[in-house]
Chains A and B, each alone.
Chain A
């Protein structure tokens, strides 16, 4: 049971004040108040329009360019929907691999992240803030530097591989670097905080009285966890899983630095389409596809899980 108790009175007060502050029916309000929310939204909306919607439109347009175009001749918008099947046909293995690796990494991150978040939220006591800082602190250094550090840790001549060889978990020529294991570990490590922090926030908000009630009703610790804690932490779980899964699927740094060509993900392909092969229509088509598939996964996920507490 969580030893950490929060003042109940505060919660009650919050509820009361929320009730008192219910907006009165809109018709009764003055015109200025009705327009105000829209005015407040304006800067953010303008920002999104300029730096998200417009580039997205351009990307969608580029994905339909005539694939025979080039930088010297320019690209014509020829509604070449064939770019999509062509891109899938050429790169479906990397597509599948991206989702597979991100999925496995997500499973690993859940196994590590849930106990971590639970421990910090409920069991850490006065160490809570310190532990939170420990989770966040690696983010102060660059993503690239952290991934490069893993190259040293997993190095063929490093201590870790040596130990694994000694206990015969790895063959005498076995290695971790440049294998799928390294890439999945890299993904798990790099995005773990995105999973753990929302989870922590929702576990920390958990109403401890419900746990007491559960034990009053003769539920054991496991039963309480399964029927009270887990369902109540679901919003955090869903938000965390999405925040983890979305960047992990599009990531290419981990595959590039810790993997081999046989581990390359769709992000590597898009990078090369835009920068090396200069096949802009294909790169754009792959990007749009990746976004749509992720969006579909997210929508299905949210449909099943309910959105009220996430969005």
Chain B
């Protein structure tokens, strides 16, 4: 006699499903054998350049990081200029909101040497450093980037993660420093004031970007964020821990501190120069402060990932944006530090007031106070990030 199938019941189905899932878990873990190494090499992951036959380019950037026409938001004067000049069609997407999130999105493809469908992506220094270290970024040809060679700011040359400027070309730079809302608090000059002044208790935010917050704290202790020891890091972290424990620091934020600072819920914070300039246009009492102990200089960099098939087109675009006239047009819109020398002179023609703003075109005294955070290797990165995350509560 044939075996009779039991009628299907809700409970039977549930217990059956749970049972098979459990079996699957057991079997699957036995079969699973870890993940392969994500390190790539130039020989191991070769990218083909189709720029000769395909006049296209896919460009991923952060939101509000490109000039738009004030009358027609769909027009992007500088980018449209590039398309006209070069005949290269650019697909521009604003799909990068957070370095870590973006990394999470593309890491599996890049670790397996697969295309992520982008020819240029813009990422911050430390993320660029990590990807370069992992061998995920294509080397650029300096002979195709004469404008970069001629015009890049001296302080952005020879950065430790890309000594020959071969992988990462700054799109925009900026400062991490202090900011306060003059409507709800008096002037703030130092990091120590921010972390200890009783009238600011619970009304202070700091950045969840470890390098920016810890860099400022290291400098407030008289140490150099470009070259510090683990003990010095721990000292600075201890200082931060005290401020968290005492309830002085309300939150660790990304860009989202800006509306809170404008509303006055946050009286003072560690923030980024470009955000504060833009808030300042609406409310002049919101002020960016460069503490005497120093500020952090960071950049967001244009990178060409492995397997991107339009490297030559990408180089053409990078070179175009290092033309001072183009750079000035962009800087007039985004208000971050312009990494292109000569753009200041061009800016005089567009907006003399912006040309004189040291937070867009930093002068010598400002640059003397600005430091770039040291490049960390994988072990250091994880050790420091873990300690920092523990202090900020996650």
A interface residues (Cβ-Cβ under 8 A, vs B): 23, 26-27, 34-35, 37-38, 41, 45, 48-49, 53-54, 56-58, 60-62, 64-66, 69-77, 90, 94, 151, 155-157, 173, 175, 177-178, 259-264, 268-269, 271-272, 274-279, 311
Contacts and interface: CB of A to CB of B under 8 A. Distances in A.
B32 A261 contact: no
Contact of B25 (A56, A90, A151): A56
Contacts of A178: 202, 250-251
B265 A272 contact: no
Contacts of B47: none
B34 interface: yes
Interface stretch (B99-107, B284-292, B297-305): B99-107
Given A157-B263, A157-B264, A178-B251, A277 B32 contact: no
Contacts of B11: 311
Given A72-B38, A76-B33, 5 more contacts: A57-B25, A61-B28, A151-B260, A157-B264, A178-B250
Interface in B369-394: 378, 382, 385-386, 389-394
A76 B247 CA distance: 41
Interface residues of B, number: 54
Contacts, number: 141
Contacts of B391: 261
Nearest to B266: A156
B35 interface: yes
Interface string B100-130: 1101100100010000000000000000000
A45 B249 CA distance: 48
Contact of A26 (B4, B36, B203, B247): B4
Given A56-B25, A178-B250, A260-B250, A34 B4 contact: yes
A269 B392 CA distance: 10
B17 interface: yes
A26 B6 contact: yes
7 contacts: A34-B4, A53-B20, A173-B202, A178-B251, A272-B389, A275-B103, A276-B394
B244 interface: yes
B5 A277 contact: no
B194 to A, nearest CB: 16
B226 interface: no
Nearest to A56: B25
A64 B378 CA distance: 21
B197 interface: no
A311 B378 contact: no
B244 A261 contact: yes
Contact of A260 (B7, B32, B249): B249
Nearest to A36: B8
Shortest beta-carbon contacts, A-B, top 9 = A261-B393, A57-B28, A74-B37, A61-B32, A264-B393, A37-B8, A272-B394, A72-B39, A275-B100
Contact of B5 (A35, A60, A70, A156): A35
A262 B28 contact: no
Nearest to B102: A275
A261 B392 contact: yes
Contacts of A72: 37-39, 133-134, 378
B55 to A, nearest CB: 35
Contacts of A48: 17
B382 A274 contact: no
Nearest to B1: A27
B42 to A, nearest CB: 15
B32 A156 contact: no
A73 B202 CA distance: 42
A71 B145 CA distance: 32
Contacts of A261: 244, 249, 251-252, 391-394
Nearest to A69: B34
B265 A57 contact: no
B133 A26 contact: no
Nearest to A155: B265
B107 A71 contact: yes
A57 to B, nearest CB: 3
A41 B7 CA distance: 13
Contacts of A151: 260
B24 interface: yes
B29 A60 contact: yes
Contacts of A23: 7
